[in-house]
Each structure stands twice: as structure tokens, then as C-alpha cells.
Structure 1
Amino acid sequence: MGEPIMDELEFLVEILEKHPLDSLKKIAEEEGIDYYRLKRLYDKYYGKYLTVSAFISLKRLGLRTYVGFLTVPSDRLLEVGLRMSQNPFVGYMNPAYGFKNGLSVIFYTPDDQRDRIEEFLSQYSEDYEYYEARAYPYDGDDNFGDWDLSYDYAILLDILKWDSRMPITEMARNLGKSRPTVRYMINRLKEEGILLDFAPVIDMNVHDRAVIGLTKELDEKVLERFNEYEIMVGVLPGYGYILEWFFSSKEDLGSKVLEFSAHVEKLLIEYFDETFKELNDRNARTRYARMVKKDGSGYRSMLDF
């Protein structure tokens, strides 16, 4: 697959941000765009470099988000990554080197299973550290819900998270439901504050490196200084902040480290490896369906996998 033309990709992202679920014909009519040009770009990039994904309230579902950093010997990275990718409570993991050499991991913990985190991580490494992560700016809200839906909703959430533009007929076929039933289920997810929005998500492989930094204090001027980079900021309650800068391996790694290290206390480089991407994608496709008990009574144990 050739490198994406960024102007074309950014144009398609901008269009899908305004019309995440509309048909291409409707988008072309409303935006005054040539339909065949739009379809050419869509066929070229959609599903390869970007998809439209559902934004889901993990808090409403009773899931807490954590970042973990595990020491894993280089000759065991793939073995440990494969085992982690079979656990739906692992959001994603990638090779990383810095204050821990091994894996950088995002994982989700049911609110009532926080006492199992140490046992969970020790299945994969004897040396690790982890932090709960919240959105920036931090609102201090600590009211988490729980899973109170039937199992069918877990399957639907997987579909919407993976590709929200899947035709409703195909969703209905996958769920064994009628189209009106699927529409009702989607509307219920919205009404209950679980399904928040739909938006295009660019594939990580457009950026194949990231600098992750942890800091106890955040100078917001740093965000202004680096606003030309794609940067994400999160709050680590009880510790401070996590900053993640995305970039390409074609850029100078040494200058990135020097540039960002002045603003954080801990730093590592994360590598978006193609093999790990495949493991992460495979895990994500059926995440909720494997997290939730078949009778819909709540979450399985994160130690079951």
C-alpha cells in the first residue's frame, strides 16, 4: 500500500467529521462535491487509513482506564503481546523503550475489579507500573455506572466501535435482529449516555512513533509550544499528567527526545509495530462481546483470559 497523500486524507477526514454516517451521495449533494471524486477518495482511504468510530462512555459502562508500563525482555515481546491481545480488557499494547523497556499498555478495569489489577499485570511481567488515566481537563467526577444491558448490546457496541458506517442491514444480520430493532438499540444507547458521538479516526500507522512523557506538573504553555504536533494529554489522578506526541519514523528521533524531555520527568518511545497493530485490531473487534457475560449480568473477570 502506498503512502497516503495527506491533503486527500485530511479532506476526507474533514468531510466525515461533518457527515459521519451520511451516504456518499447525500454528502456530495450537501457539500457540492463531485460524487465520483468523493467516492474515489473514500474507496482509496476508508477502512485502510481511517474509519468512523463510535465514541462510547466507558464511565457510564463502569470501566476505568489505566495506562501501564511493563518490563518485558525483547525476545519475549511477541509472546507476551500475543497473550495480552487475547484479553479484551487490554485496550492496546505496543513495544516501548525508556523508563521501562518492554510494553506500553492501555487497559480497562471494571469498577468493582480494581483490586485485581496487580494480579492481572503480574500475569505478563514481574516489573511494572500503572496509573489510572482520565480526560484532560479533569472534572473530578468519580461516579461510575455498570453494565445493565443485554448481551446483544455488547455485540452492537463492538460493531459501532469498529465501523459505525456499516450499513444498518448488515448490522441487523450480524445481530440476528430486524433493522427497526437495531435502530431502537442505537437510540437507546444514545439516550442512556453510552453512545456519545461518531467521528473519523485516523489509523495509528500514519504516525508510527510516539513520545510518551509523565509529569507531575503541567505547564499549559507546553501545549501551545508544540501545537504543530499531534499531541494528547491525560490526567493521572494522584500523580500528574501523561503527554503523548505522535510522529513519523522519518523525523529525527533524537531531537524529539531532547525537545520533550525538558517538560516531563519520565519518558519513553512507543513503536506502532505492524504485528502489534494486527494483534490490537483483532482484540478490538470483539472486545465488549468477550468482556460481558453471555447472560448480560455484568463483566467477566479480567483474570479469566
Structure 2
Amino acid sequence: MGEPVMEELEFLAEILMRHPTDSLRKIAEEEGIDYYRLKRLYDKYYGKYILVSAVYNIRIIGLRSYLAFLSVPSDRILEIGYRMTQNPFVAYVNPAFGFKNGLSAILHIPDDQKDRIDEMLSKYSNDYEYYEVRAYPYSGDDNFGEWNLSYDYAVLMDILNVDARTPITKIARRLGKTRPTVKFMINRLKEMGILVGFDPALENNVHDRSVLGIAETLDESVIERFKEYEIIVGVFPGRGYVIEWFFSSKDDLGTKILEFSNYVDKILINYFDSTFKELNDKNGMTRYSRRVKKDGSGYRSILDF
């Protein structure tokens, strides 16, 4: 497969941002685009370079989000990364070098288990730091819910997280339910505020590096400078901000660091290589269903893995 044409890929990303789960024919009609041109681009890039995933408000189901940075010897990065991706409460882990050399990770921790984070991370490294992170702009809402749905909802959330464009018929077969029941379940997730939308994300074979920076204050002009799928801003409540800028390894790393250093106080480079992508993807396929007890009575312990 040849390299993606970025103009085509960006065009498809913008279309899917407006119509994340609509059929191609409906998109073509509403956007006034030739259907066969759209289908050609979709078949060329979807599932290979771009995917639409569900966006969840995990606060509603009692999960707190953290960024963790661990010092790990270079000869143990793959071993420790593999162990971490066996834990479904570790959402992503990647090699990282900067203010910590080793691994960076996103953690989703049940509210009533936040006092176990140090014990969890100490299984992987004796030198780490972590920050609770919230969406930007920060609403200030510190009310956390709990898991009070059946196990089937966790499986559904996994499916929509992997590919939100999965046909309802296929989801129904996977869950052993009817199409109307699946639609009811999806609508219930929306009504409860758990499923808040769908987001097209470029795969790591497009953006295989990122500069991650931590800052005490946020220069909001950085948000205006980059496309929505190139930059993510988060809030460390009471402590500052995190800004992550995604780019390609074909770009000059030194230039990126110099440019980004104007906006942050601490910098780290994330490397999204194919081995870790496979580990993260495998973990992500069943992340929610492995977090939840089979009887739906709540979350398993973050120390079980």
C-alpha cells in the first residue's frame, strides 16, 4: 500500500467529523459529493489510516483519567509495556523520552480505587509520576458515578470504541440481541450522558510521534494553530495543563521540539511504533468488558492484572 495522500485523508477526516456514523450515501447527498468518489476514498483509507471511535464521559461511570510517566530501562521497555497492556485499566502505553525516560500511559481508574494507583504503578517501575487529567475546558464537576449497567453494555462500549461505524446488524449478532434492542442500548448510553459523541482519529501510521508538554498556564493561541486531530489539550485540576501535538516521524523532530517548547514547561516525546500499537489495539478491543465484573456488579480491582 502506498503512502496516504494527506489532502485526501484530511478531506475524509473532515467529512467523518460532521457525519461520523451516517451511511456513505447519506453523506454524499447531504454534502453534495459524488458518491463513488466518496466510496473510493473511504475504501482506500477507512480502517487503515482513520477510524471513528465512540467518545465516552467516563466520569459518569465512575472512572478517573490519569496520565502516568514511568522511568524504565531501555532493555525492559517492551517487557514492561507488554505487562501494562494486559491491564484493562491502562488505556494506552507507549515508549516516551524526555522528563521521564521509559513509558507514558493513560490510566482509567475507578473512583473508589484511586488510592491504589501507587501500588499499581510500583509493579512496573520504582520511579514514576502521575497526574489526574480532565477534558479542556474544565467544567469543575467532581461528581463521579459508578458502574450500574449490565455486562452487555460494557461489550457494546468496546465495540463502539473500536469502530463506531460497525453495522447494527453485526453488533446485534455479537451481543445475541435484536437490532431494536441494540438501538435502545445505544440511545440509553446517550441519554445517560455516557456516550457523548463520535470522533474520527488518524491511526498511528499517519501520526507516529507526539510532543507532550506540561505547562502551569495555557497559551490558548496554541489551540488555534493546529487542526483538531493534531492537538489535544487537557487540564490537571489545580496543577496546570497538558498539551499533546501529533506529527509524523518524517517531520523534523528538533524543529517540533523548539516550536512546542514556547508553550510548555516540561517536554516528552511519545513514540507510537507498530509493536505497541498492536498491544494497545488488542487491549482496547475488550477494555471495558474486562474492567467490569461479569455479573455487572461493578469494577474489578486494578491490582488483579
Normalising by structure 1, we get a TM-score of 0.95
Tell me the CA shift for residue 37 of structure 1. Answer: 1.6
| Post-superposition offset of 1:90 | 0.6
Deviation at residue 78 of structure 1 after TM alignment: 0.6
**How far is 1:262 from its partner?**
3.8
- Is 1:290 the counterpart of 2:290? The answer is yes
Aligned-residue CA RMSD in angstroms?
Answer: 1.5
The aligned counterpart of 2:208 is 208
2:155 partner amino acid: I
Q: How many angstroms does 1:83 deviate by?
A: 0.6
Give the deviation of 1:265 after TM superposition. 2.2
Map 1:1-305 to 2 at 5 A.
1-224=1-224, 226-227=225-226, 230-305=230-305
Partners in 2 of 1:247 and 1:28 — Cα distance?
Answer: 30
Matching residue's letter, 2:181 = T
After TM superposition, give the deviation of residue 256 of structure 1 in Å.
2.0
Distance 1:132 1:294, change over 3 A: same
Residue 279 of structure 1 deviates from its aligned partner by 0.6
Structure 1 runs (4+) deviating above 6 angstroms are none
Shift of 1:193: 0.9
1:238-278 Cα offsets, whole Å, 9 max, x none, are: 32111111122122211222222243222111111111011
- In 1, Cα distance between equivalents of 2:218 and 2:8: 35
Q: Could you state the TM-score of these two structures normalised by the residue count of structure 2?
A: 0.95
Q: Higher mean Cα deviation, 20-29 or 60-69? A: 20-29
Distance 1:232 1:98 in 2: 19
Aligned length: 304
Consecutive unaligned residues of structure 2, counting only runs of 5 or more, are none
Cα distance, 1:222 vs. partner?
Answer: 4.3
Distance 2:182 2:260 in 1: 47
Local SS of the residue matching 1:218 = coil
2: CA distance, partners of 1:253 / 1:199: 27
Amino acid in the other structure paired with 1:303: L
Match of 2:205, SS? helix
2:67 is matched by which residue type in structure 1?
Answer: V
Kindly tell me: are residues 14 and 260 of structure 1, through their superposed partners in 2, closer, same or farther at Cα, counting changes over 3 Å?
Answer: closer
| Paired residue type of 1:216 | E
Q: 1:223 to 1:163 in 2, by over 3 A?
A: closer
Q: In structure 2, what residue type is equivalent to 1:91?
A: A
1:298 shift after superposition:
0.5
Deviations 1:21-41 (A, max 9, x none): 222222223333222221111
Q: Give the distance between the partners of 1:231 and 1:257, measured in 2 at CA.
A: 14
SS, match of residue 58 in structure 1: coil
Provide closer, same or farther for how the CA distance between residues 222 and 6 of structure 1 changes in structure 2, counting only shifts above 3 A.
closer
- The letter of the residue matching 2:80 is V
2:15 partner letter: I
